[in-house]
Amino acid sequence: MTADNAALQKEASFHIKIFRAAAPYLIFNWKPFEIIWLILFGTVAVALTVFYDSGFFAFTVYLAGIICVVLAAKGHILNYVIGLYNCFGYGYLSYANGLYGEMCLNFFFFVPMAIVGMMVWKRSLKKERVRMRALSPRHLAELVFLIALAVLAGGWCLSLIEGQNTPYLDSATNALSISATFLMTWRYKEQWFAYIALDVLTIAMWFYRALAGSPEGILMVSMWTAYLINAAYGYRVWSVGAREDAEDMETSS
């Protein structure tokens, strides 16, 4: 067996273990809030898909998205697997609605970062979840400053593209998405601050597209509203987890 084949077999074995572990986890390890949240927004997705005739594809993107973000809030590595489908699907919907920044972000950043994130989290698992940590106040302030610069520069570049809708809003969502993704990959709880801001702006962006006649607009507004509620929940879960993991590190050192 060649080294390449051995590496592929080892990676395949890892993914099989994830899916075997996922079945009982997905069925039995949900908290009441998470079950109610999934049922509520799943029902909303069905109703909006039928009422606005958004199509089955947009519905599957929505469903994958809400399952993915709940698993991320729980610190479960399977969120990256489900997130891959959501990235491809959401990227296509963004392209169809003239949101080219969102399209490029999903196809060329989120997809490869999902793979990177899975590899990083694999090395930092603690029973059913990943180990969590927090940024220092200084590093958090530096991050906010860099995000603001990125929004201004990205908005100017996107405004030069013919047919681009809401360039600075699109730029803000891109900058926040990139920041949140890196924070999530490296297991920082402050990712949820970025996700909360991102969700608010993205709701506004898709609401604008809905007013412009987009058939998927209202469904995407609903999906990002679900993300917003989940982001607040995720911050709570990760704050507790980061504190517990910091205490464990102090105890073991």
The amino acid sitting at 85 is Y
Q: Any idea which of 59-73, 95-109, 160-174, 229-243 has the lowest mean pLDDT?
A: 160-174
Distance CA 230, CA 236 (A): 10
Q: What is the DSSP letter of 161?
A: S
User: 239 exposed, middle or buried (CB, 10 Å; 0-12, 13-18, 19+)?
Assistant: middle
Structural domain includes residue 12:
no
The rounded distance, in Å, linking the Cα atoms of 30 and 116 is: 26
Per-residue pLDDT averaged across 235-253, rounded?
87
The confidence score (pLDDT) of residue 253 equals 63
pLDDT in tens, 100-117: 878 888 999 999 999 999
| Parallel/antiparallel/unpaired status of strands 129-130 and 125-126 | antiparallel
State the amino acid at position 221 in one-letter form: V
Question: Does 241 reside within a domain?
Answer: yes
Mean pLDDT on 173-181: 91
Asked if the structure places residue 168 within a domain, the reply is: yes
Round to whole Å and give the CA distance between 171 and 224.
Answer: 17
Q: Which of 8-22, 64-78, 158-172 has the highest mean pLDDT?
A: 64-78
Asked, for residue 109, whether it belongs to a domain, the answer is yes
Residue 18 forms part of a structural domain: no
pLDDT bracket for residue 234 (50, 70, 90): very high
Domain count, the chain: 1
- Burial class (CB within 10 angstroms; exposed 0-12, middle 13-18, buried 19+) of 43: exposed
Residue 206 domain flag? yes
Q: pLDDT class for 229, splitting at 50, 70, 90?
A: very high
CA-based nearest residue to 67, from 78, 58, 51: 78
Residue 200 has a pLDDT of: 95
pLDDT for res 151: 93
Provide the mean pLDDT of the chain: 86
* pLDDT tens column, 14-65: 555 555 555 555 554 788 888 898 899 889 888 888 887 888 898 899 899 8
pTM: 0.79
Has residue 20 been placed in a domain?
no
Query: What is the rounded CA–CA span in Å between residue 12 and residue 222?
Result: 35
Q: How far apart are CA 206 and CA 208, in angstroms?
A: 5
Q: How many CB atoms lie within 10 A of CB 212?
A: 11
Does the residue 95 lie in any domain?
Answer: yes
Q: Which domain holds residue 93?
A: 31-252
* Mean pLDDT within 124-137: 89
Six-digit token string for 76: 């479960």
